[in-house]
Amino acid sequence: MGEIILGIEEAFLLLISFNKEIYGIILLSLYVSLASTFFSTIIAVPIGTALGMRNFKGKGILIRLIYTFMSLPPVIAGLFVFLVIMRKGPLGHLRLSFTPTAMILAQICIVVPIIVGLTYNGVKEKGNTIRDLGKTLGANNRQTLFLLIYEMRIIILAAVIAGFGRAVSEVGAVMIVGGNIKGHTRVMTTYIAMLQNMGDYSKAIAVGIVLLALSFLINGILFNLQQR
């Protein structure tokens, strides 16, 4: 109990101290998670929409695979990206190992299935109705697609919120491909794991509280957008 109260105190002190290291870690966390969520959204929304609207052979199996990948353990995503970008890997020449870019790539692997799966579900439910509506009101294919995305905005934002939540909270993938290098690839989750390891519990709790607060803030912004 004492540790928690100490942690809350320390979280507050940490924030008003404007400690460069802490703010660097917070900013990198935000950068990595927001970037991975952003790119995942761009990749996943069209895929989820297409899956919801079209029928083809093998679709059932593909959907089951996507649902499975929605709960992909981050360490596996990390391991996969690690193997691809390591020196001897297929993309080794890009020298991405232990960089923030590698962390973003790993998180994209985790977040894309989540947004695809949730978007697919929404489109499957509403897609045909909206396609028919678009036709009856005289919209062409492109306009109908925009109409569909507009009508899906709440579901898409919910998917984005879920994806971001997953990205910002995971530790396995960023640890493997980033390596928790001080001042370079250290983010809040890997920092917390390290602090816990070193027995600095109050500081670990402090960073945890900051992480939660930030998550709350970002979700608040997305939630506000969703209510429009």
Residue 94 DSSP one-character state: G
Report the residue number, 11 or 152, with the smaller CB distance to other proteins. Answer: 152
> Nearer Cβ to other proteins, position 21 or 125?
125
Which DSSP symbol is given to 92?
Answer: G
Q: Which of positions 131-150 make contact with other proteins (CB under 8 A)?
A: 132-133, 135-139, 143, 147, 150
- Dihedral angle over CA of 214, 218, 224, 226, nearest 10: -140
Residue 83 engages other proteins in binding (rule: CB under 8 A): no
Hey, which residues between 152 and 181 contact other proteins (CB under 8 A)? Answer: 153-154
Nearest alpha-carbon partner for 118 in 175, 172, 171, 165? 165
As measured in angstroms, the least distance from the Cβ of 15 to other proteins is 39
Q: Does 10 bind other proteins (CB under 8 A)?
A: no
Residue 227 is a binding residue for other proteins (CB under 8 A): no
CB-wise, 150 or 216, nearer to other proteins? 150
Quickly tell me which residue has 């390591």 as its tokens.
86
Distance CA 143, CA 121 (A): 21
Crossing angle (nearest 10°) for helices 20-53 and 59-70: 160
CB of 139 to other proteins, least distance (A): 6
Determine, following the binding rule CB under 8 A, whether residue 224 of this chain makes contact with other proteins.
no
Choose the stretch contacting other proteins; rule: CB under 8 A; options: 44-52, 93-101, 126-134, 156-164.
126-134
Rounded to 5 degrees, φ, ψ at 187 are -115, 175
Least distance from other proteins to the Cβ atom of residue 227, Å = 11
Q: Of 53-61, 64-72, 75-83, 130-138, which segment contacts other proteins by CB under 8 A?
A: 130-138
Cα distances (angstroms) measured from residue 166 to each of 16, 55, 126, 191, 218:
28, 29, 26, 17, 13
Tell me whether residue 152 or residue 207 sits nearer to other proteins (CB atom). Answer: 152
CA separation for the pair 20, 183 (Å, rounded): 10
Question: Binding residues for other proteins, per CB under 8 A?
Answer: 129-130, 132-133, 135-139, 143, 147, 150-151, 153-154
